[in-house]
Structure 1
Amino acid sequence: MNTAGCTDRITLTGIAVTTPHGVLDHEKREPQRFFVDVVIECDLSGAGHSDDLGATISYAEVAQDVERIMTQPPVDLIETLAEQVAASVLQRPAAEAVEVTVHKPDAPAGVRFSDIGLSGPSVTIRREQHRPVAIALGANLGDRVATLRSAVRSLDRLPGLELIAVSRLFETDPVGGPEQPDYLNAVAVGSTRLAPWTLLERLHEIEAGRGRTREIRWGARTLDLDLLQVGDPAAGTDLRFDTPELTLPHPRAAARAFVLAPWADADPAATLSVGGAAVPVHDLLDSSDRSGIRPGPDWSPL
């Protein structure tokens, strides 16, 4: 995986809070000054083009969360506060990574610090987003195996995406649309730091690079990449969207055996959110019509 990070940043510097935290008893009773810096890595291109707050991260909300965390009942370590701030930021879908610095300029360290700036002890941590992700692949035009292998290798090189497993190939009858050749289908599972809309845009770029066009709905295609799910429904961390551009989880995945069969093959423990409940993909596959699915050719995708 290419681990290059996003170059866009949202920076909040010097969030000031006076509150009691520290190892010593008097530090838990007597409020002290704390300053918090937060640097959020995220893709801001969508917000820049659309002027839509939903495509970015509200720095006002982040600042309010920092203040809430810092004014909680006292803890011993500023490391604990930094971890809690980082975890709060990474709950936001657009956040790819975050760096948090907590300054404690008046800490009783037994030495004198300069009076200039934010002198004194501080802790800086950096945490990256790691969300489970499932991506469906399909092709029914041209050299299907070569196209799918090329697509998997492009996914594996995609910055911010780490592939963990890729299913075997399944050959499937076309569902809906005009008369067309049979498909080869697979599912790749992994972990991503990318915002869902950013990942979807990257999938579309990979499709376009293999000659994908979108002229006929459910028509034949050289390559189809569908974002099935981001997050883990079993842990309650799956992301849910319902916009013209993106719907998560994929609205038809639970009823498509040609998706469920390779998904269960790639990740036997996978679950999908159906009606608000986390349902094992294996159970959905067992109750589906698999008459149009058969083993595909052997392949080595990676």
Structure 2
Amino acid sequence: MTALDRITLTGLRARGTHGVLPAERELGQEFSADVVLHVDTRAAAADDDLSATVNYAEVAQDAVAVLAGPPVDLIETVAARIADRALRHPRVRAVDVTVHKPQAPVPVPFADVTVHVHRTAGASGDVVLALGANLGDARTTLRDALTQLDRHPRVAVTAVSPLLRSAAVVAPGTPPQPDYLNAVALLRTDLPPRELLALCQGIELAHGRVRTERWGARPLDLDLVAVGSLTWQDEDLTLPHPRAHERGFVLAPWARVAPDAVLPGHGSVAELADRVGDGGQWLDESWWEA
């Protein structure tokens, strides 16, 4: 993963009543937290634009609200809740949280007790995956690729569209290609987007995909189209997919499998599909089974 920039909040403090002992719940004590946000700040720095980064004042308020909030037994829980709140900010890719409990009931001299947790942004909501192939036994390849994804311990295929046969898009002056078989699958996973991308690229490679020409024929193409409402952009991955709104072979299968879906930034997938058209021929309704 590309190294990210860091925004650090140190020494956030609040009085809380976390702890196992009755006295801790009754009397309370001071807790503090250090929060490190892993963020790509390049766009914000280039445009001097707060909306392109993280409002760390809001993160600080969230952390203090957890420290002073409803009591829990463990500071491990406190740290996890602070991390979860930080990851709700869409620009935060990962977070480190250290919670300090300097007045912990430890029966020997000590300076502090801390718990440190690291969390990464996982996929929130359904992952929309576009599949395509136009070389070899495309139907079998698509079926095998979905099976490989579904067998991953942290991925579940929850819905699959019918197959759509569509003409290949080729660069001007290049030879024609075989038609594509296309489909869209919905996945549930807690893998971070970059790890899910790496998994898909590994499956492509295992099926002979070689990334040599942009519009070339291929035995397998797996594209992450959207991950819930997540917005993501780096040199390897942009979410939602920047050209999904103009691709009938993505929109039409997506609308078939999720009629109420919305493409963030563009609106109803069904309406977009009607506008663009599928440009192809529908094939099997049930071509893959878990």
- Report the RMSD for the aligned CA atoms in angstroms: 4.5
Which residue number in structure 2 is paired with residue 254 of structure 1? 245
Q: Deviations over 1:81-120 (max 9, x none)?
A: 546402234336544xx8977564547xxx8855446579
Which residue number in structure 2 is paired with residue 290 of structure 1? 278
* Change in 2 beyond 3 A, CA 1:214/1:104: closer
Q: Deviations over 1:210-237 (max 9, x none)?
A: 01122332221110111111222xxxxx
Distance between the aligned counterparts of 2:136 and 2:130, measured in 1?
18
Which residue number in structure 1 is paired with residue 166 of structure 2? 172
3-state SS of 1:287 partner: helix
Distance between the aligned counterparts of 2:250 and 2:258, measured in 1?
12
**Match 2:220 to one of 198, 223, 229:** 223
- TM-score, normalised with respect to structure 2: 0.69
Alignment of 1:264 onto 2:216: no
Which residue number in structure 1 is paired with residue 287 of structure 2? 299
* Change in 2 beyond 3 A, CA 1:71/1:240: closer
What amino acid maps onto 2:158 in structure 1? I
* Change in 2 beyond 3 A, CA 1:115/1:218: same
Q: Could you list the runs of 5+ residues in structure 1 that have no partner in the other structure?
A: 1-14, 43-51, 55-60, 233-237
Q: Deviations over 1:14-60 (max 9, x none)?
A: x755432339xxx99x99332558899x9xxxxxxxxx998xxxxxx
**Identity within the alignment, %:** 40
**Match 2:69 to one of 71, 75, 78:** 75
Distance between the aligned counterparts of 2:135 and 2:255, measured in 1?
25
Which residue number in structure 2 is paired with residue 144 of structure 1? 138
What amino acid maps onto 1:217 in structure 2? R
* Change in 2 beyond 3 A, CA 1:99/1:157: farther
3-state SS of 1:274 partner: coil
3-state SS of 1:205 partner: helix
Distance between the aligned counterparts of 2:122 and 2:214, measured in 1?
34
Distance between the aligned counterparts of 2:251 and 2:68, measured in 1?
48
Which residue number in structure 2 is paired with residue 129 of structure 1? 122
Contact 2:165/2:180, CA 8 A, preserved across alignment: yes
3-state SS of 2:264 partner: strand
* Change in 2 beyond 3 A, CA 1:53/1:239: closer
Q: Deviations over 1:128-179 (max 9, x none)?
A: 8342311100011111111001100111133543322122211112223441
* Change in 2 beyond 3 A, CA 1:76/1:224: closer
What amino acid maps onto 2:135 in structure 1? L
Which residue number in structure 2 is paired with residue 195 of structure 1? 192
